[in-house]
Amino acid sequence: MTLTNDLAALLQPTHAAQSQPSEVLRAPAPAPRGWEAGVQYEPSGTMVVTAPAAEQPPNSEADWRASVEELGLAIPDGWRVRLIEARHDPAAWHRNAQGEDAVTRPVWRCRYVVEPAAPAWLSAGDVDALVRDAMRCRRKPRTTPDTAERALVVVYADAQAGKVGRDGGTPELIGRVAERFDRLYDHVRDLKAIGQGPTVAYWLDAGDCVENYENTAQQAQTNDLSMTEMIRVHRRITFEGLDRLAGRFSRVVVATCGSNHGRVRRGREAVGPPNDDWGIEVMSQIADAYARNTAAYGHVSFVLPEKWRETVSLNIAGTTVGLAHGHQYPRPEKAGDWWRAQSFGRQAIADATILVTGHYHHFRAQQLGNGRLHIQAPTLDNGSDWYAARSGEVSSAGLLVFSVGPDGWDHLRLL
């Protein structure tokens, strides 16, 4: 063969099957989403490893370790590899050689975690010693008196003065409230006995102070007071409650909110802005009266909703507490959804950590989100017989109280 012929032979293309060994060309198709081979580093220091697909499942810890090390990872001393997920894919696509059609072959896809071989707390001893030492540990005695502000919160809700029901009428309502005010004395005494006596007091009126005549037709036949008498009874009860707090605490804050029974109406339709409310008006009257006697009531302040709002928020011992009646949402289960929407809309209770409501005449407490608390106060009224007839549920009357201090809320009770 001449040199020219040799050169021509060298320039001839080689057959595709002879270009590389077939083993090099055997490779699976790309892995499904989320199963790409790789390593995810967690904030705790552990590693989550997704291994390439394999034809056989791992059968031992040695196989797990080998799968991880195939990715080039070195397992530190004192660490282990643990299988956390394995999936069998019966129809994984493969292409055995370049230019050939893809075929299916079953494979296993596995995920591992690389973590310390033992929890850090085991280094201090066995479990028995851990429990024994923790239980024998005693809290160090306080070296200085606790001077942080602690607030007593009293929630007066849904008295609906003038309403007659299974538990009586106006005389029974006044007697019930007076008894709860006596229990309030006992509650304050109990808190002082355990070294957590409140230093300030907050009176939260959650609305529906009067029954009114415009909500339902039956009110004209069942109420035992006229409209002005209802307002008068509510005003005098509130005077009595605030007098008791004002005589015991160096600072008292009073707040109220708009409500459905308290709203000024023509027929069943509300008239005027949201603050056109008998409960808000009564509190305004009391504020005017207290302003006339600053020697006795100069330490009592009032918080009322803005003209176009139904809710208020207060800073109570460093915790933002929101107050709303609760008629703004159709069922008590919807309180959380309504609260979230109020926060998104930057309304008065947007930044509240605790939300206090009434309206639904029974106690309910629910933790929401990250550290938020919804407290639904019980009623003080004479009973909702229409609701009992419809549902079979009967609410218990009560005055709700809780405390707020430097560590948040505590001492939640129904008096």
Domain-embedded: residue 3: no
Does 358 score more than 80 pLDDT? yes
| pLDDT > 90 in the chain, percent | 62
Q: What is the pLDDT of residues 112-131, one digit of tens each?
A: 999 988 766 666 567 777 78
Would you say residue 223 lies in a domain?
yes
For 319, the domain range is: 151-414
Q: Are residues 175 and 92 in the same domain?
A: no
Contacts of 96 (CB under 8 A, 6+ apart): 22, 25, 26, 103
* Confidence check: pLDDT of 145 > 50: yes
Residues 326 and 401 in one domain: yes
What angle in degrees, to the nearest 10, is found between the helix axes of 227-246 and 278-291?
50
126 belongs to a structural domain:
no
pLDDT at residue 171, rounded to an integer: 95
Asked if the structure places residue 15 within a domain, the reply is no
What is the domain count for the chain?
2
pLDDT at 3 over 50: no
**Whole-number pLDDT of residue 137:** 78
pLDDT digits (tens, 9 = 90+) for 70-94: 888 888 888 999 999 999 888 777 6
Do 114 and 38 have their domain in common? yes
Higher pLDDT, 237 or 59: 237
- Give the model's pLDDT for residue 18: 43
- What is the arithmetic mean of pLDDT over 134-161? 82
Same domain, 187 and 40: no
> Residue 345: is its pLDDT beyond 50?
yes
Interval 263-307: pLDDT, tens: 998 888 888 899 999 999 999 999 999 999 999 999 999 999 999
Q: Based on the domain organization, do 173 and 57 belong to the same domain?
A: no
Please state, in angstroms and rounded to a whole number, the distance separating the CA atoms of residues 404 and 268: 38
pLDDT at 1 over 50: no
Other beta carbons within 10 angstroms of residue 352's beta carbon come to 25
Question: pTM value?
Answer: 0.70
Q: 40 in helix, strand or coil?
A: strand
Query: So what's the pLDDT on residue 24?
Result: 40
Same domain, residue pair 74 and 159:
no
The CATH number of the domain holding residue 295 is 3.60.21
In a domain, 230, yes or no: yes
Domain boundary among 66, 99, 121: 121
142 in a domain, yes or no?
A: no
309, 205: one domain:
yes
**Average model confidence (pLDDT) for the chain?**
87
Whether residues 238 and 276 share a domain: the answer is: yes
Q: Is 62 helix (H, G, I), strand (E, B) or coil?
A: helix
